[in-house]
Amino acid sequence: MEIAGRAAFVTGANRGLGRHFVDALLARDVSRVYAGARDPDSLAAAVAQHGDRVVPVPLDVTQGAQIRAAAERLLDVELLVSNAGQGCSVPVLEPADDAPFRAVFEVNFFGPLNLVRAFARQLRHSAGGVLFVQSLAALVVSRSSPVYSASKAAAMMLAAGVRSELRDDAVTVTSAFPGFVDTDMNTGIDAPKAHPRAVADRCLDAWQDGVLSAFPDRLAQLVESAVVRDMAAVLADPQAVMTGLLAELRSDRGE
């Protein structure tokens, strides 16, 4: 899939990995990046750096009206990067109600669902692409954030369904499964972290090459190998598997 010359829309574009997707797309000569954020003013630095090639768009992916308004206005979007995400470090059995669980599904599942449904016409017309930024937590359940894992696993299956429905329109649908990335979302996590720009570039490389599932950092590659080698172990004792893979990653880095 060709990236250069197309207009891209990135959600969660003002911080973390999303900010690096904006820079990486511009470096690949997209015509412009529509940068979605709850607070468009938070994109002032990107606009100052790149001028009118960055267009801030007010977007909260939990607000269907905002998504529909963006799709009706941004008719030239050909590339969609569904990056906005939310964590949920709450044990399954702990909360008195399910509000935190519903909130994370609204962002991580229903947000991408409503986004791709709203932009499907543009994507079909242009034979464009969708990049779903998932997480290794979709493949190996997180000890501290099991419902976050559940939301990302649901989003992974959503992406597979979208790929099937858009296949005849030559739309490239890629799911990326980064590990721990050095962003504010992972502050305080004691694990080796990948550089966000490197992760963004590897995700875009995979997308451009038509790769369906991207594993854009070393931990992601180790998890991919573990899943292929012994999915039963990954499902039965994910914490032991991840502990072993993190030890291997630290050894690779000479730590």
153 in any annotated domain? yes
SS3 (DSSP) at 2: coil
89 in any annotated domain? yes
The CA-based dihedral angle spanning residues 124, 168, 13, 29, taken in that order and rounded to the nearest 10 degrees: -80
Chain-wide mean pLDDT for the chain? 94
CB atoms within 10 A of CB 233: 14
SS3 (DSSP) at 138: helix
CA 255 to chain centre: 28
Backbone angles phi, psi at 33, to 5 degrees: -120, 120
pLDDT classification of 228: cutoffs 50, 70, 90 = very high
**What tens digit of pLDDT does each residue of 185-217 get?**
777 777 888 999 999 999 999 999 999 999 999
21 in any annotated domain? yes
Tokens at 78, concatenated: 């050909």
| CA distance linking residue 15 with residue 204, whole number of Å | 18
Count of domains in the chain?
1
| CA distance linking residue 108 with residue 87, whole number of Å | 9
What letter represents residue 153's amino acid?
A
1 in any annotated domain? no
251 in any annotated domain? no
Residue-range definition of the domain harbouring residue 165: 7-217
240 in any annotated domain? no
**What tens digit of pLDDT does each residue of 91-140 get?**
888 777 899 999 999 999 999 999 999 999 999 999 999 999 999 999 99
158 in any annotated domain? yes
Q: What is the mean pLDDT of residues 213-226?
A: 96
Angle of helix 146-166 relative to helix 111-126, nearest 10 degrees? 20
Q: Which residues is 213 bridged to in the sheet?
A: 175
**What tens digit of pLDDT does each residue of 105-119 get?**
999 999 999 999 999
User: What CATH number is associated with residue 149?
Assistant: 3.40.50.720
What is the maximal distance between C-alpha atoms in the chain?
51
26 in any annotated domain? yes
